[in-house]
């Protein structure tokens, strides 16, 4: 068995729709390090408005485990499968998880898009997101920084308007 299968790395798991928080609770009870990025959104109904916490990536949760211990996560109710490509485990880099945490902590406006958005590779040199790297795209008359999480084929777009950006 290789060291890659024994080293603890971040992996993405697909969960049943609207079961992300339940899976997080199960993983917490099992003592498995996990990450469910959530954001607050203002939902409007006919009779009321309310702030709701919703997952940043619908139907996904991240767990930091050794690949050989993946069945501890896969046996949790509502976990459907592990994200894999060509039948190989697809670990997520620590820096990608850290970038998501940084975005959530910064309070910056962001959007989540499916797939990868093409653009110049850039680095933020100053502002609340200093040090973050990504691709820059123009969108709706403002500049957006795209952080791609390739393992789950998602991209996070952060409003980079208040930050000084330089091309790498």
Q: Give φ, ψ of 22 to 5 degrees.
A: -65, -45
Range 75-104 average pLDDT: 91
Domains contained in the chain, CATH given: 3-91 (3.30.70.940), 94-167 (no CATH)
Using alpha carbons only, what angle is made at residue 153 by residues 162 and 34, rounded to the nearest 5 degrees?
85
Question: What token pair was written down for 119?
Answer: 């653009």
pLDDT at position 11 over 60: yes
For the chain, the helix, strand and coil percentages under 3-state DSSP, each to the nearest 5: 25, 45, 30
In terms of Cα–Cα distance, which of 86, 73, 78, 93 is closest to 7? Answer: 93
pLDDT at position 140 over 80: no
Sequence-distant (≥ 6) Cβ neighbours of residue 116 within 8 angstroms: 146, 148, 150, 153, 155
Calculate the CA dihedral of residues 60, 65, 70, 74 and round it to 10 degrees. -40
User: What distance in Å separates the CA atoms of residue 15 and residue 152, rounded to the nearest whole number?
Assistant: 13
Query: Picking from 30-34, 92-96, 132-136, 159-163, which range would have the lowest pLDDT averaged per residue?
Result: 159-163
Question: What token pair was written down for 149?
Answer: 């999480």
Per cent of the chain over pLDDT 90 is 46
The reported pTM is 0.75
pLDDT at position 95 over 80: yes
């Amino acid at each position: 068995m290789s060291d890659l299968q024994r080293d603890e790395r971040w992996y993405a798991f697909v969960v049943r729709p609207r079961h992300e928080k339940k899976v997080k609770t199960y993983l917490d009870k099992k003592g498995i390090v996990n990450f469910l990025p959530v954001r607050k959104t203002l939902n409007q109904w006919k009779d009321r408005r309310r702030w709701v916490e919703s997952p940043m990536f619908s139907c996904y949760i991240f767990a930091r485990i050794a690949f050989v211990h993946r069945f501890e996560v896969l046996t949790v109710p509502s976990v459907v499968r592990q994200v894999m490509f060509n039948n190989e485990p697809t670990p997520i880099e620590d820096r990608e998880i850290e970038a998501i945490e940084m975005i959530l902590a910064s309070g910056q406006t962001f959007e989540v898009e499916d797939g990868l958005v093409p653009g110049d590779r850039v680095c933020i040199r100053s502002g609340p997101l200093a040090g973050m790297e990504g691709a820059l795209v123009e969108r709706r008359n403002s500049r957006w920084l795209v952080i791609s999480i390739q393992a789950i084929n998602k991209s996070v777009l952060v409003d980079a308007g208040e930050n000084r950006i330089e091309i790498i």
